Chain A
Amino acid sequence: MKLLIVEDEPELQESMKEYLSLEDYTCELAASYDEALEKMELYEYDCILLDIMLPGGDGLSLLRELKHNRKADGVLIISAKNLLEDKITGLQMGADDYLSKPFHLPELSARIAAIIRRKQFGGHHLLAYHEINIDTQARNVRVNGHALVLTKKEYALLLYLVSNRNKVISKSALAEHLWGDDMDLADNYDFIYTHVKNLRKKLVDAGATDYLHSVYGVGYKWTDKII
């Protein structure tokens, strides 16, 4: 999977590249409007991470160029402005998703995975992890072929954890994913614990291996390796 990261802040570029490279993504970087435009014209990417404010131009005009050239690349807009107008304009112009800064890397990764799943055809909406099968189109989960009934939040949690397998996910990243960042929960993470506990119990009861590990009570890790 090939990604283009259009971002002018080198530190952020580096973080994104480092985290996404861990997940078998090939990342290319562009730090300015012109550089991004050139790469977008020359190559094809599975997903383009597009910062709106760029030296030399506006990320939205890059998107316009891309759509004008009828490129099928997935586009995830990353903006610091957090303006509803930008979000609406971006999505109307054909972007696949919108993420505002600052974001958690697992969130970024999950969003990219979702975009790529949607963009591709032929069974890519099926996500398998050993005995667990997730159909992201029908939004249902099967364990060893048997349907598992999950709540909306449990489903979101499972998909998020599987998309970020083998990573330590902080509770704040989980909270942000489940409730959004405008929700001022005053960092009360008790609710996450409840959902995690319920999900884990349902999976184990259905005969799945317990892949979900608590990391020192601070975060969680979904993995099949012993930690």
Chain B
Amino acid sequence: MKLASTYQRFYFALLCLLLVVACVAYYLSIRYVLVRQVDNDLKIEQQELLDFVQLHDSLPAPSHYRDQQLSWRPASELVEQRRFENTHGWHSHERHRGPERALLFSIRVRGKDYLITISKSLEETDDLLWLILWVTAGSFAILLAGLYIGNRFILHRIWQPFYQTLDYLGKFSLSNPDRERPGVSSIDEFALLSRSVEDMTAKMQRDYLALQQFTDHAAHEMQTPLAVIKTKLDLMMQHPGIDKHQLEQIQQLHQSVNRLNRLNQSLLLLARIENRQYLEKEPVALRGLIEEKLDLWQEWIREHHLTLNLQLEDITVPLHPFLAESLVNNLLSNAVRHNVPGGEIHIALSSGTLKVRNTGHVGSLDSERLFLRFQKQSPSEGVGLGLAIVKEIAELSGMDIRYEYSPPMHIFTVLF
């Protein structure tokens, strides 16, 4: 539920409750005032009656006016205290039985005690009371409706920049920045929020670019000296006086440079993956990619008498093309290079899974350490980053990579 709706709901529930309480209190206090007024009138009537009795030494005849009745009856004893009562008219001839306010008191006339009841109709008072009440309730209802509509409108307007900022954050992408800006507001808090969000995203963008530039520069700074070494070695080989020993040493240097280069490429690839430089995805036909990469290894496969078993379905997987290539390359290279002469490689590709099974050194590999960097099974093979790269690619692309050993097969499964 939106913040504004939640707020509106609580606000209006509370407001309704308060207005009901206020209405009741208002009703009670006005009623109290009006009844006091009637009571005063009744007291004046009592005084008039007492004056009449004093003057005439007899009781006046009972009277029944529309809004005032006087009645008396003999009483067994004299009650000092006068009292007020809320009653309904009880007179038999009275057609209208409305609420009444009665004053009861005792009086002794010529040695006899009487209980006098003077009552006044409360009908007019009640009418007035209800009128006041309805007018008040009506005003409250109009007030509520006005507040509700007004609040909705104002809240909607006030929160607009906030939703714009939210929208901006939702659309924000590091690798693909657009020039849209967070919402602009004259409200301090929202303006501050927008500014903070803008500053933060700008900083993220700067950091991202700085990291990207860092890997680019690192690549440049490392690849250029490697290129110098490699080309100088090529030139040295052309020297007419060069002997076998020197040439062999040059060849060994070439190998070391190649290894350094591969290490550098792998580290840069890892840095770029971590840096989220390969987020764009497009459907990649994995079957073609696997067949293409296997083609590179065909001499090796033939030379080592490896049996290849392919069960490839035509499926596409959303991946960055370069990452797809790297993933397949590393998995295949792993299966081929760590195999044993006369061994087997089974590759199964179906929707959702790529399974590479291969024979290799006997015994399960440590699946905890397998995907860590620089974990090598033997010192001479590769640089030990292949599976770390596979793992990083899988994590970045939301895939799962698993290893299990089912003698004699080492099984790598990618779930996408």
Which stretch in B61-69, B74-82, B225-233 binds the other chain? B225-233
Contact partners of B178 in chain A: CB under 8 A: none
Contact partner of B299 among A100, A106, A191, CB < 8 A? A191
User: What 0/1 pattern do residues 118 to 141 of A give for CB contact below 8 A with B?
Assistant: 000000000000000000000000
Is B199 in contact with chain A by the CB < 8 A criterion? no
Which A173-187 residues have C-beta < 8 A from chain B?
A: 173, 176, 179-187
B169 shortest CB reach to chain A, Å: 27
Whether A218 pairs with B220 at a CB distance below 8 angstroms is no
Whether A12 pairs with B227 at a CB distance below 8 angstroms is yes
Whether B261 pairs with A106 at a CB distance below 8 angstroms is no
Is A105 in contact with chain B by the CB < 8 A criterion? yes
Residue of A nearest to B231 (CB): A15
Is A19 in contact with chain B by the CB < 8 A criterion? yes
Contact partners of A80 in chain B: CB under 8 A: 219-220, 222-224, 227
Residue of B nearest to A107 (CB): B234
A156 shortest CB reach to chain B, Å: 13
Which B268-317 residues have C-beta < 8 A from chain A?
A: 268, 296, 299-300, 303
- Given A80-B219, A105-B235, A170-B251, residue A12 in contact with residue B228 (CB < 8 A): yes
- Given A80-B219, A167-B238, A181-B261, residue A12 in contact with residue B231 (CB < 8 A): yes
- Given A103-B230, A190-B303, A216-B248, residue A12 in contact with residue B381 (CB < 8 A): no
Whether B255 pairs with A172 at a CB distance below 8 angstroms is yes
User: What 0/1 pattern do residues 75 to 113 of A give for CB contact below 8 A with B?
Assistant: 000001111100000000000000011111110000000
Q: Give the interface size bracket for B toward A.
A: 35 or more
Whether B226 pairs with A101 at a CB distance below 8 angstroms is yes
Docked Cα-Cα span, A173 to B220, in Å, equals 21
Is A22 in contact with chain B by the CB < 8 A criterion? yes
Contact partners of A82 in chain B: CB under 8 A: 219, 223, 265, 268
Which B229-275 residues have C-beta < 8 A from chain A?
A: 229-235, 237-238, 243-244, 247-248, 250-251, 254-255, 257-259, 261-262, 265, 268
Contact partners of A69 in chain B: CB under 8 A: none
Q: Enumerate 11 A-B pairs (CB-CB under 8 Å) in ascending A order.
A: A12-B228, A19-B238, A102-B226, A102-B227, A104-B234, A172-B258, A182-B329, A184-B262, A184-B382, A216-B243, A218-B247
5 shortest interchain CB distances as A-B pairs: A80-B223, A15-B231, A102-B227, A216-B244, A102-B226
User: Which residues of B come within 8 Å of A, CB atoms?
Assistant: 216, 219-220, 222-224, 226-235, 237-238, 243-244, 247-248, 250-251, 254-255, 257-259, 261-262, 265, 268, 296, 299-300, 303, 321-322, 329, 333, 337, 380-382, 386
